[in-house]
């Protein structure tokens, strides 16, 4: 497989879709529809880029045009995209002969100059566009705001300008950028679950890219690897005896922020001198469990009353193990007794409505109960927590 090209401009695109910006939505779309053994990058060569196994690359800039026309004749979004591509080819940061360029705009928009570029196939077509641009400029009383980018186009080397324009295309047909994703998933996903699965797929794609960035490596994802994991997720989601998670591990900064706030369930862990790693895992599982409860209830996968019954099961397990540990380890300190109780509870997986739950869910549930002080790990947790509040 050819090595990826090396350029890292970033072009932001506003507008949330299922809570995500446009770029992760397009990343996910290409991961699911691009040829096997290709790779897709985020904010590397462009907003999104598809790296084919034969060395060719599709560079895409994504523009959300909810409040303006990103394809109008004097759109700064449009002309900046053209200028960026010209600069990338001119500087040899990308191989223009092996690249194609796409401007994705949603919802549908149009413009005369952008349409002419989209249709240009020959150097003669490009010359007509230059004449069109100059003619429109001559009729304006003052230069448009995008004039620096327009001038970059007019001053560009003729061969490079022809190469970019002839390899450039527009994609502005989707009122909702989730529709292409829904169309890909519709044959195998029930209608009632399709948006939930879309959200999970986009979240998975974003998480994979974020992991690369956190490792300070390129956000470059293999389509085959991603689809293998995503298909396993969908298959598992369709099993009647399994409750799927729609949450991902929170970013490190989010986890650290909650640790710094020291909620009650974290203070309970500190009373038994739990390790920092245990506290971090507890925060992550607490947040994921809360998110999954909301999602399952909203999707109708679990009835509200089922959570109460499930928590009662956790309370019974906690009480039984607490009594056993008190009997068997009366000679140990209360801190060790509490930590032993916590360690045992943290490994349990208690079914919900006779359905298997994700690995983090029971542990998160115990921490929710600890946060409400319905359970505790240290035998005297109520006394110590009350003393802290009095200080």
Contact partners, residue 42, CB within 8 Å, separation at least 6? 23, 24, 27, 48, 209, 219, 221
| Model pLDDT for residues 347-390, shown as the tens digit of each residue | 999 999 888 899 999 999 999 999 999 999 999 999 999 988 76
Cis peptide before 2 (omega within 30 of 0): no
Q: Is there a contact between 43 and 131 (Cβ–Cβ < 8 Å)?
A: no
pLDDT for 305: 84
Residues β-bridged to residue 267: none
Residues β-bridged to residue 355: 352
CA torsion, ordered 203, 209, 213, 217, to nearest 10 deg = 160
pLDDT for 17: 62
Measure the CA–CA gap between 264 and 271, rounded to whole angstroms: 11
Whether 2 has a pLDDT exceeding 60, the answer reads no
144, with CB counted inside 10 A (0-12, 13-18, 19+), is middle
Q: What residue ranges in the chain does DSSP mark as E strands?
A: 39-42, 48-51, 57-64, 99-106, 168-171, 220-222
Q: Is there a contact between 22 and 11 (Cβ–Cβ < 8 Å)?
A: no
Of the segments 116-125, 210-219, 290-299, which one has the largest average pLDDT value? 116-125
Sign of dihedral through CA atoms 357, 376, 288, 214? negative
- Grouping H, G, I as helix, E, B as strand and the rest as coil, residue 289 is helix
pTM over 0.85: no
CB atoms within 10 A of CB 310: 20
pLDDT for 237: 62
pLDDT bucket at 240, cuts 50 / 70 / 90? low
| Model pLDDT for residues 343-354, shown as the tens digit of each residue | 999 999 999 988
Q: Which of 6-20, 184-198, 303-317 has the lowest mean pLDDT?
A: 6-20
* Angle made by CA atoms 246, 250, 253, in degrees to the nearest 5: 165
Whether 5 has a pLDDT exceeding 80, the answer reads no
* Angle made by CA atoms 307, 312, 317, in degrees to the nearest 5: 125
Measure the CA–CA gap between 69 and 67, rounded to whole angstroms: 7
Cis peptide before 107 (omega within 30 of 0): yes
Q: How many residues does the chain have?
A: 391
Measure the CA–CA gap between 271 and 388, rounded to whole angstroms: 11
Q: Which helix (H) or strand (E) holds 271?
A: helix 264-271
Beta strands 99-106; 57-64: pairing state: parallel
Average pLDDT, the chain: 90
Domain boundaries, the chain: 22-232, 252-390
Stretch 283-311: mean pLDDT: 89
Measure the CA–CA gap between 29 and 294, rounded to whole angstroms: 26
pLDDT for 4: 42
Whether 10 has a pLDDT exceeding 70, the answer reads no
């Amino acid at each position: 497989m050819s090595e990826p090209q090396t350029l890292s401009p970033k072009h932001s695109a506003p507008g949330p879709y299922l809570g995500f910006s446009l770029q992760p939505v397009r990343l996910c779309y290409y991961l699911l529809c691009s040829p096997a053994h290709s790779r897709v990058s985020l904010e590397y060569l462009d907003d999104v880029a598809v790296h084919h196994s034969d060395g060719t690359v599709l560079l895409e800039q994504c523009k959300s045009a909810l409040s303006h026309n990103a394809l109008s004749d004097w759109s700064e979004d449009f002309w900046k995209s053209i200028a960026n591509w010209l600069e990338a080819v001119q500087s040899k940061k990308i191989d223009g002969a092996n690249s194609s360029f796409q401007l994705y705009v949603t919802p549908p928009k149009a413009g005369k100059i952008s349409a002419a570029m989209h249709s240009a196939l020959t150097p003669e077509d490009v010359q007509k566009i230059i004449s069109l641009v100059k003619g429109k400029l001559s009729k304006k009383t003052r230069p448009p705001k995008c004039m620096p980018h327009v001038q970059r186009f007019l001053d560009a080397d003729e061969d490079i300008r022809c190469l970019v324009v002839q390899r450039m295309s527009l994609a502005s047909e989707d009122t909702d950028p989730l529709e292409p994703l829904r169309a890909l998933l519709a044959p195998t996903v029930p209608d009632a679950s399709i948006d939930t699965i879309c959200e999970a797929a986009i979240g998975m794609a974003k998480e994979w890219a974020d992991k690369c960035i956190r490792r300070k490596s390129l956000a470059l994802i293999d389509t085959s690897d991603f689809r293998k994991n995503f298909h396993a997720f969908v298959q598992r989601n369709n099993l009647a005896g399994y409750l799927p998670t729609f949450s991902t591990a929170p970013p490190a900064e989010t986890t650290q922020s909650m640790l710094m706030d020291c909620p009650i369930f974290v203070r309970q862990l500190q009373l038994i001198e739990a390790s920092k790693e245990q506290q971090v895992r507890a925060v992550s599982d607490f947040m994921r469990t809360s998110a999954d409860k909301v999602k399952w209830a909203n999707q109708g996968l679990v009835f509200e009353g089922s959570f109460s019954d499930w928590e009662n099961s956790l309370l019974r397990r906690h009480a039984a193990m607490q009594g056993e540990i008190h009997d068997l380890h009366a000679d140990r300190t209360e801190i060790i007794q509490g930590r032993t109780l916590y360690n045992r509870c943290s490994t349990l997986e208690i079914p919900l409505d006779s359905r298997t739950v994700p690995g983090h869910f029971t542990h998160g549930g115990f921490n929710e109960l600890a946060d409400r002080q319905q359970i505790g790990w240290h035998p005297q947790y109520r006394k110590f927590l009350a003393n802290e509040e009095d200080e």
